[in-house]
Amino acid sequence: MVVLNKSEAHDRSRKLELLSIRINIFGLQLNIIINLIPLVLLFAFFCPCIYFLHTFLADCEIAKSTCITSVFNCLIFHMPNLSGDWNITV
């Protein structure tokens, strides 16, 4: 049986407490990173969509405003065909 005096016991207790704090901080950082992964994936997915919509709507003469009906009108009247050219059917 190992007998520790008060200062050694206090030192060990303090070291364990510091180790526990480090583990908790690492766990918190890991938790934050894990929670940010879906946001990063969502952002990575929607960036090309937003870029496409921005360039698509910039070419549309009807949808100059941010109105939903203008966007639908733009999508209806300016549909790209399979060759990549713009079909303008007004």
CA–CA separation, 60 and 90 (whole Å)? 12
Per-residue burial over 48-64, b if 16 or more Cβ lie within 10 Å, else e, is: eeeeeeeeebeebebbe
Task: Tell me, yes or no, whether 55 and 25 share the same domain.
Answer: yes
Task: Tell me, yes or no, whether 50 and 83 share the same domain.
Answer: no
pLDDT of 77 reads 54
Task: Tell me, yes or no, whether 33 and 52 share the same domain.
Answer: yes
pLDDT of 81 reads 46
Helices assigned H by DSSP within 1-90: 6-59, 68-77
| 1, part of any domain | no
Task: Tell me, yes or no, whether 55 and 11 share the same domain.
Answer: yes
Task: Tell me, yes or no, whether 71 and 55 share the same domain.
Answer: no
Task: Tell me, yes or no, whether 44 and 74 share the same domain.
Answer: no
pLDDT tens track for 8-37 = 777 788 888 888 888 888 888 888 888 888
Q: Can you give the residue range of the structural domain that contains 84?
A: 62-90
| 2, part of any domain | no
pLDDT of 14 reads 83
| 51, part of any domain | yes
Put simply, whether the predicted model's pTM sits higher than 0.75 gets the answer: no
CA–CA separation, 90 and 86 (whole Å)? 12
pLDDT tens track for 35-82 = 888 877 777 776 666 666 666 666 555 445 554 555 555 555 555 544
Q: How many domains does the chain have?
A: 2
Task: Tell me, yes or no, whether 52 and 83 share the same domain.
Answer: no
pLDDT of 73 reads 54
